[in-house]
């Protein structure tokens, strides 16, 4: 008889969830990438039925005692890490009452539905009508999660996406960035003002762009025997670790957004494709967190993908698939990929101005959740911070202001910081790998990405959720999150 009966039972429970999750992931991917419009109602009903089943499994009352008993069983280190992650999943599934989950569903779907019209109409007043209820639900979630976890309210929300991350850390890190970022943006844009730049000349047919994107994915080691690239309105990395489904979208007038977006998703995809296989189906074998996931996509898109060395390899691929142009010469292509230009839209931002957008959102949604400000206060704060951080006057422009993202209509409070924390971790990883392999950039320029992918595989991908984020960072790079590497990276690339 097993000496770890409760742990074994929990592991079987996780494996079942993993398998049902597989079908939910493929059903969701198909909805975004393949499903014809009239299939939507039936698909929604089917996915909701499965979600209901999974929720019942996750909230099975017998789990509480089983978790407590498993703690007493003789587990090895990996099993203990798995048990920690099982408990985390259990906590998140059980922390909120069904009535609040339903209220959230109702409020966010109403708000998001209205937002799709209100954003193009620049209708802030209309938006606030629905958003108040979303905010009420978000605050109530924060209150309950905070009570049960002992974390502060906003910390409790962040914990769902980035376990262990706290406002104390974010304040410290974003506070530092705030000190030097506006000056760095000013110096970088000034420096680029006189730089010659040749614009690419379209159109770029979709079939050629697709071939280019797939070639770039191959160049970056994506395993097409365990994944695909398709098209969806909103690009994402979906599927399951055993079968990764990436999407992009094509615009015949512009190819770099799709190409670099695909490289971004390839970073997410390779993380998933290379998660540890030993305990596959268990939470410990899943990706660590959202910030760490984003650190992989940004390692691919920003650290590697926009490095001068990598562009040596990318430029010939672009010319091969889209036909040669002066704009596709490596030096010019790199300049196109490293243009710095403050703007209103987060998702269009370059890597230098991007953190400003995230800091702004954090500085608004945190007091929103803590109850220090109300929805009505957002526009004034938004305008002040855009002026302060990026020098842009956004007065009266709600569409490209607080209405630009789907996160708030969807009550995804606590998520935004992950984007910039990911960028900072990515810089930290590249600093560590350059210490480990000093000729990394030389080898990348020659087409040998082993120093990069080998390091990521060993230190991030193969670790899954074995360690907390802090432990992972410490083991990988010798220190926990340190934004100095991000600053050094930006200075080297944009002021060097």
Q: Given the rule CB under 8 A, which residues bind a second copy?
A: 16, 19-20, 22-24, 26-27, 30, 34-39, 41-43, 45-50, 53, 223-228, 239-240, 242-243
Residue 297: contacted member of a second copy, Zn ion, none (CB under 5 to 8 Å, by partner type): Zn ion
**Residue 297 binds Zn ion, judged by CB under 5 A:** yes
Smallest distance, Å, CB 148 to a second copy? 31
Helix (H) or strand (E) holding 488: helix 484-494
Active-site residue, selected from the candidate residues 85, 141, 265, 301:
265
**Residue 295 binds Zn ion, judged by CB under 5 A:** no
Residue 496: contacted member of Zn ion, a second copy, none (CB under 5 to 8 Å, by partner type): none
Distance CA 277, CA 282 (A): 10
Q: Which is nearer to a second copy, 189 or 262 (CB)?
A: 262
Query: Taking CA 79 as the corner, what is the angle to CA 13 and CA 267, rounded to the nearest 5 degrees?
Result: 85
Active site residue 410: no
Smallest distance, Å, CB 121 to a second copy? 27
How many residues bind Zn ion, per CB under 5 A? 1
Q: Which is nearer to a second copy, 24 or 95 (CB)?
A: 24
Distance CA 348, CA 171 (A): 25
Q: Which is nearer to a second copy, 24 or 219 (CB)?
A: 24
Q: How many other CB atoms are there within 10 angstroms of residue 450's CB atom?
A: 13
Smallest distance, Å, CB 320 to a second copy? 21
Smallest distance, Å, CB 24 to a second copy? 8
Q: Which is nearer to a second copy, 44 or 105 (CB)?
A: 44
Residues 167 and 152 sit within 8 Å (Cβ to Cβ): yes
Stretch of 218-226, 295-303, 360-368, 446-454 contacting Zn ion, by CB under 5 A: 295-303
Residues 134 and 115 sit within 8 Å (Cβ to Cβ): no
Task: Report the candidate in 440, 419, 420, 425 with the shortest Cα–Cα distance to residue 479.
Answer: 425
Strand, coil or helix: 245: strand
Distance CA 422, CA 297 (A): 8
Task: Report the candidate in 337, 245, 335 with the shortest Cα–Cα distance to residue 300.
Answer: 337
Residues 418 and 172 sit within 8 Å (Cβ to Cβ): no
Q: Which is nearer to Zn ion, 13 or 160 (CB)?
A: 160
Question: What does the block give as tokens for 419?
Answer: 């984007």
Contact positions toward Zn ion, by CB under 5 A?
A: 297
Q: List active site positions.
A: 265
């Amino acid at each position: 008889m097993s000496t770890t009966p409760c742990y074994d039972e929990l592991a079987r429970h996780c494996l079942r969830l993993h398998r049902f999750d597989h079908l939910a992931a493929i059903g969701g991917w198909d909805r975004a990438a393949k499903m014809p419009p009239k299939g939507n109602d039936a698909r929604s009903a089917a996915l909701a039925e499965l979600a209901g089943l999974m929720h019942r499994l996750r909230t099975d009352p017998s789990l509480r005692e089983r978790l407590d008993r498993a703690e007493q069983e003789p587990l090895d280190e990996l099993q203990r890490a798995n048990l920690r992650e099982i408990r985390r999943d259990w906590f998140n599934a059980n922390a909120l009452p069904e009535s609040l989950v339903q209220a959230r569903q109702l409020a966010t779907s109403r708000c998001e539905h209205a937002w799709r019209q209100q954003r193009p109409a620049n209708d802030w007043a209309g938006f606030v009508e629905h958003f108040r209820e979303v905010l009420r639900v978000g605050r109530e979630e924060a209150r309950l999660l905070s009570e049960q976890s002992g974390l502060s309210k906003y910390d409790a929300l962040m914990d769902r996406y980035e376990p262990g991350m706290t406002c104390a850390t974010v304040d410290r890190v974003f506070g530092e960035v705030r000190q030097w970022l506006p000056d760095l943006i000013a110096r970088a844009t000034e420096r680029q003002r006189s730089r010659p730049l040749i614009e690419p000349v379209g159109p770029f047919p979709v079939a050629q762009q697709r071939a280019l994107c797939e070639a770039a994915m191959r160049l970056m080691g994506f395993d097409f025997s365990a994944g695909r690239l398709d098209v969806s309105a909103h690009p994402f990395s979906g599927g399951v670790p055993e079968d990764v489904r990436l999407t992009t979208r094509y615009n015949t007038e512009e190819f770099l957004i799709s190409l670099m977006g695909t490289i971004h998703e390839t970073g997410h995809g390779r993380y998933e494709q290379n998660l540890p296989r030993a305990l596959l189906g268990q939470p410990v074998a899943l990706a660590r967190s959202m910030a760490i996931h984003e650190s992989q996509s940004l390692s691919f898109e920003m650290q590697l993908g926009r490095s001068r060395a990598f562009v040596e390899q990318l430029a010939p691929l672009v010319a091969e698939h889209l036909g040669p142009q002066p704009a596709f010469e490596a030096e010019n292509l790199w300049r196109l990929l490293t243009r710095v230009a403050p703007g209103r839209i987060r998702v269009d931002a370059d890597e230098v101005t991007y953190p400003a957008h995230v800091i702004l959102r954090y500085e608004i949604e945190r007091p929103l959740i803590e109850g220090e400000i109300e929805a009505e206060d957002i526009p004034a704060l938004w305008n002040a911070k855009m002026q302060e951080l990026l020098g842009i006057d956004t007065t009266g422009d709600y569409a490209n202001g607080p209405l630009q993202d789907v996160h708030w209509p969807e009550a995804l409070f606590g998520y935004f910081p992950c984007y910039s924390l990911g960028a900072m971790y990515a810089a930290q990883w590249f600093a560590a790998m350059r210490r480990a392999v000093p000729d990394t950039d030389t080898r990348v320029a020659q087409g040998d990405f082993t120093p990069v992918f080998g390091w990521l595989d060993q230190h991030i991908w193969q670790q899954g959720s074995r360690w907390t984020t802090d432990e992972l960072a410490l083991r990988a790079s010798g220190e926990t999150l340190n934004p100095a590497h991000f600053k050094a990276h930006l200075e080297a690339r944009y002021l060097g």
